[in-house]
Chain A
Amino acid sequence: MQFMLLFSRQGKLRLQKWYVPLSDKEKKKITRELVQTVLARKPKMCSFLEWRDLKIVYKRYASLYFCCAIEDQDNELITLEIIHRYVELLDKYFGSVCELDIIFNFEKAYFILDEFLLGGEAQETSKKNVLKAIEQADLLQEDAKEAETPRSVLEEIGLT
């Protein structure tokens, strides 16, 4: 996998992970172009897209688009399932995840992603193992801070 982007229906980037070294300028250009192209596609269309010399696999979950770039010989369907598994992981971790969870805890989302995909390849596909690893690291964190649920945030900014 070359990179993964998460963006909202409004085109706002929520998460970006690049597995190939690119300059900031290129990254921005790619992001801009891709967000535009993907958002312009209709819901009934297929989840794959040939773009430059890459293949884009994307899927929309509620208001969030998950979008991966793979090489031509890679399997599109399994990439779609990688996205799905990531969403499952987020869901399990946050407890019915929503876009706001990812916005406010994006570093957590990164931690989970790093546990699941490393260097662009699936690292650990067992859901249990990924979450175990994250929880272990989180335990250290728990001692240091008071638990705060994302729900209170929603109330705080009045978006619920």
Chain B
Amino acid sequence: MSDVVEKTLSALPGLFDSQTGAARITSRLRQLVKSITELTSKNEEESLIKQELSSMKEQVSSPNTSMMREIMVRAMYCEMLGYDASFTYIHAIKLAQQGGVLEKRVGYLAVSLFLNEGHELLLLLVNTVLKDLQSTNVIEAYMALTVVAQVFPKDMIPAVLPLLEDKLSYPKEIIRRKAVLALYKFYLIAPNQVQHIHAKFRKALCDRDPGVMTSSLHIYLQLITESPDDYKDLTGSFVTILKQVVGGKLPVDFNYHNVPAPWLQIQLLRILSLLGKEDRSTSELMYEVLDESLRRAEMNHNITYAILYECVKAIYTIHPKAELLEKAARCIGNFVLSPKINLRYLGLKALTYVVQHDAKLALQHQMTIIECLDHTDFTIKRETLELLFRITNAQNVTVIVEKMLDFLHGCSDEHTIIHLVGKVAELAEKFAPDNSWFIQTMNDVFSTGGDLLQQDVPNNFLRLLAEGSESKEEDDQLRLYAVNSYLTVLKGDASHLPQRFLQVMSWVLGEYAHLQESVDQREVIRLLTQLLDQRSVSSETRVWILSALTKISEGQTDLILDLAESLSSSQDTVLRQQAQELRQLSQDSQLYEWVLPRGAPWDSMEVDSSLSFLDGFVSEALAAGAAPYKPPHQRQEELCEDRALNLEPYSFSLPVSLSSCSITDRQSPTLLSVSSGLSGNSTELSQKAGSSTLILEGVKRVWGRDGYLRQNETTAPPVDEPSAAVQPSGQQEAAERLEPQPEPSTQNQDKLQLASSLFVGLGAGSSMSLLGKSEAPPPRFRKKPRPHESSSSSSSGTSERSSDSSSRSSHSTTDSFLYGSLLEEEPATSISAFSHTPKSSTANGLAQNKDTKEDRRANTSQILGGDMVIVRPNTFQDKHPSLVSSDLTALLPADLKDLPHSDVISLTSDPSLSLSSCRLFRDEALLLVILISNCTETVIKDVAVQLTCEELETASLRGNVMNCLEGNSTSVCHYALLMDEPHTNVSFTGTVSYQTQPGHTNTLSFSGTLSAADFIRPLVVSTEEYGKLWLSLSHDVKQNLKLLTDASDPLRTTLNALKDALQLHVVDIIGSEGIVACRLLSGAPCLLHCRVNGAALAMWLRSPHPALPDCILYHCQRALAQH
């Protein structure tokens, strides 16, 4: 090594002597490369590069720029080798800025390699780019465009946008092309900013140069992926272009291996498939050209296969046409049977896609699929499993899952494991043939997936065990099997098992160990305690184990007390607390009985979500001087108010508590005693209360009037029994007979056997699946859907206790529905619907062959029969974009009537209830009023509304729980919604649960969207104040907007239009300029400065919040576009 360094060092003086020659420049890099090639170890390389970098550092600090280009190249080289040359970044920008064309080229290249979008130095490049874009030298403009299309700071887009728009009509096509790609890049990073130039995109699409047109397709692909409906009118154009391309109308330059513009073809095919998806009339426009593409792509070359593959995908995505499907299927055959491995892979991929529509195709290629299953290539194997996953049914599930698990055992890639294990769990839940298989498979899933496993796998599994199916007996058998299996596992060495698995086991043992009467409960306790002692067990798992022990410790005080004692000094607070609980409970059997009643039927449980049983306690606490509870949004409001300096002397605390008390509606002011001088907070209070019986702090539990609620342990009242998954042996034989016979004798017997077990059951269902998706077989373990996903998020030891409302609503809702109005409306189908015995599936199968209307009805009825909760899509809303008669507005509470409000919009409805909503604009919040109307004559009981919105802070103010709703009456509940972070649009979802007859809870879900415009309020300021505020704000955005020119005073008209749409406050209009102010509720202000600029309105927005201007700009653009 040393002599290499010596050589380099000795060469240095010589270099400095003659650094003018261009030959020197490249040879310097050469020397570096050469010396590196000669090195033998990483260490040597490191020290050499270090030396190189430090000599570069010296050189860049000298003012001589002639070396700079060469230094930059070397810096790029060093960075590529993985060394940090960040000191050269700034010089790269300088080089692009100051150098001649040659230097610029290298400078821009270095910038695009060194810096990524977010890098702060990039801001320094903006001016250079602006200058070069305006340069008369084409090369300079073109280099600037190249860099803009790769890296450009998002915030500075408005600065270059006008220049780019100009470039779209530049005479040279290379410039137009790069400009289009730069706009594409902008669209990807900041779609709002380029929203107004969609018309220009169309111009680019019609460009006479095919290269420019091709580039514009990138943008269109993106736009159409997001909202295909807006671009249906372009279908004809795309089809024409494709026709021309396929017909060889483009210049020969665009051919690639004699295929005309394959990249363009593929892009167009992708666009067409998006446009034609689920749209018959649009699809019909493209059948011909797709057919021609298939026909033309004949040559045996990768590129034709690439086009064919895209074609097949398009044909299967758009509205189906039998003739084309047949051709496409044949085409897939060519892929699958190809000796080339790459094509075979794509064949499998295409099959995976296609079997969702037509499972028969997998049958045709079964022998190939089996070969691929044993392929040495990991990629092929994995894709084959993906394919098998898609064709799994109740009959082949055991074989397929076995194959998947085999693969998993030999696999070490984390991503693959997580991905596949999830699929195995899904299949096991859906198709398990029997209990023992199911539990064993899940054991495998847990032990293989380990702690990488996604949380919802164990959650779903436990929910399935807990909620069970309709038959208690079967559920108990499954639980019993699980218990037995886990006891066996725990008797062995459990130290290597993943934590998740241990958690699942301990929960199951805690809940169901009592089902196993032949095993002494003491033995179970011993096993669990043993687990607690193991070092490898995490503290989270310990909590699970301890809560399991709590559940089974009844009457085993002697075993438990020591344990509780030792753990009550644990460092983990949760553990310590649980140990305390355990000790309390084990000493007081009455309390134990009350808190953890064994086998209490779950429909006897009643949950008091208003926590009214605490009322007495609360009033006592208030009387003792505690501060009343304030909902979070109120707290925040007060916090905002507090932010200003308080110049008043501190006041006596009493008036505060008086005033805030009158706001909360639960306790009456009479409870306040004048002597209350102390103020505490509510958590402290609940602690005080808990200490008399139990420590409640931090315990996630649901309490009701009757004590502790064990909702999950019990089962639903037995409804009719489906269990259609039991496979009749005759059916299997029939399925086997339907298979096409594979060629005999040449293949070995094993494979044939495997094939018959893998592809069983595919033939029967496939005949009808050409149009529309085939019916999924009824799952064995029918999970009860949750009305909302929130309950799955609880991951701690208490995850098994889902929230009260979910348990109530997941009660069998269907019967009342089916016996009710639905039965009257559709008598023919409901019969098969409510007798969901295996017969019902045959009834459905028959219905499939009849006309489509009948078919659809049969399907709906099966959905109703299969799922417990009826979640109706908002079709009603779509059909009648529905203003509900204004008499509903009259129902608004008197105190809200004066607020500005929107029209009343229907949200959703079902035979019993109809829901509509109205938005009221209060200064500091948006009030969402939900009107619940009872459409029936009878009383509806226990109406509860739940509203969720991820982006917004929501608080129910009034009326979300009602004991009863009289017939033909309407009730009102309202929510205050707060938006802290600006979002252009947010959606909310919610559910209403209610009872038409006792014990039958129905659920109705609804959803809707709110726009940021709902949260924008006028900010009333004077021109002077506006000026001051303007200077103090930092984030600004500039943009040209459309000016409404049809009136005499365009500026005023435009501003008024914006004011109407967005509740802005127009502060002042002076000549051709206008200033406008608004704020996000009572939070961040946003100032808008508008100036008439020719036919456009130049708008300049400033706000302390970085995202707010973008958001407002978006709505301004929309408002003006709609005007």
Contacts and interface: CB of A to CB of B under 8 A. Distances in A.
B379 A46 contact: yes
Contacts of B309: 75, 77
Interface string A93-125: 000000000011011001100100011011111
Q: 7 closest A-B pairs (Cβ-Cβ)? A: A145-B22, A77-B306, A21-B116, A126-B253, A46-B341, A78-B306, A45-B377
Contact of B253 (A15, A46, A129, A153): A129
15 contacts: A42-B376, A48-B379, A50-B416, A52-B415, A75-B310, A77-B342, A80-B302, A81-B303, A104-B26, A107-B109, A119-B184, A126-B211, A128-B253, A133-B142, A148-B26
Interface stretch (B100-108, B831-839, B884-892): B100-108
B306 A104 contact: no
A137 B263 contact: no
A48 B349 CA distance: 12
A157 interface: yes
A42 B23 CA distance: 42
A19 to B, nearest CB: 8
> By CB atoms of chain A within 10 A, which of B101, B116, B310 has the most?
B116
A87 to B, nearest CB: 13
Interface in B252-267: 253-254, 256, 261-264, 266
A141 B103 CA distance: 10
Contact of A106 (B76, B185, B262): B76
Interface stretch (B30-38, B511-519, B924-932): B30-38
> By CB atoms of chain B within 10 A, which of A18, A21, A107, A156 has the most?
A107
B109 A114 contact: yes
Contacts of A128: 253
Contact of A21 (B33, B118, B139): B118
Given A18-B116, A123-B215, A145-B25, A111 B379 contact: no
Given A75-B310, A125-B254, A126-B211, 4 more contacts: A45-B341, A48-B342, A77-B303, A78-B310
B149 interface: yes
Nearest to B225: A73
Contacts of A121: 181, 184, 215, 218
B254 A126 contact: yes
A104 B415 contact: no
A118 B178 contact: yes
Contact of A78 (B73, B303, B376, B382): B303
Contacts of A16: 80
Interface in B369-391: 376-377, 379-380, 382-383
Given A80-B342, A121-B218, A144 B211 contact: no
Interface string B232-254: 00000000000000000001011
A47 interface: yes
B585 to A, nearest CB: 47
Nearest to A79: B306
A50 B253 contact: no
Given A118-B146, A144-B102, A76 B346 contact: yes
Given A77-B305, A126-B253, A119 B345 contact: no
A121 B178 CA distance: 11
B883 interface: no
Contacts of A85: 256
B1026 interface: no
Interface of B: 22-23, 25-26, 29-30, 33-34, 37, 73, 76-77, 80-82, 84, 101-102, 105-106, 109, 112-113, 116-118, 139, 142-143, 146, 149-150, 174, 177-178, 181-182, 184-185, 188, 211, 214-215, 218, 251, 253-254, 256, 261-264, 266, 302-303, 305-306, 309-310, 341-342, 344-346, 376-377, 379-380, 382-383, 415-416
A100 to B, nearest CB: 9
Contact of A140 (B82, B101, B117, B377): B101
A2 B345 CA distance: 22
A63 interface: no
B302 A104 contact: no
A144 B24 CA distance: 13
Interface string A140-160: 110011101000010011010
A9 interface: no
Interface of A: 13-19, 21-22, 24, 28, 42, 44-53, 75-78, 80-81, 85, 103-104, 106-107, 110-111, 114, 118-119, 121-129, 133, 136-137, 140-141, 144-146, 148, 153, 156-157, 159
A144 to B, nearest CB: 6
Contact of B105 (A119, A125, A137): A137
B218 A141 contact: no
Contact of A46 (B37, B149, B211, B345): B345
B150 A110 contact: no
A13 to B, nearest CB: 6
A107 to B, nearest CB: 6
B266 A75 contact: yes
Nearest to B217: A121
Contact of A81 (B25, B214, B256): B256
Contact of A124 (B23, B143, B211): B211
Given A118-B181, A140-B139, A125 B342 contact: no
Nearest to B29: A104
A22 B73 CA distance: 22
Given A121-B181, A141-B102, A156-B30, A15 B80 contact: yes
A156 B26 CA distance: 13
A48 B382 CA distance: 12
A104 B33 contact: yes
Contacts of A46: 341-342, 344-345, 377, 379-380
A78 B346 contact: no
Contacts of B383: 50
Nearest to A133: B174
Nearest to B101: A140
Contact of B149 (A111, A118, A127): A118
A105 B102 CA distance: 15
A119 B150 contact: yes
B299 to A, nearest CB: 13
A152 B253 CA distance: 34
Contact of A123 (B181, B310, B380): B181
Given A121-B184, A144-B102, A45 B30 contact: no
Nearest to A47: B342
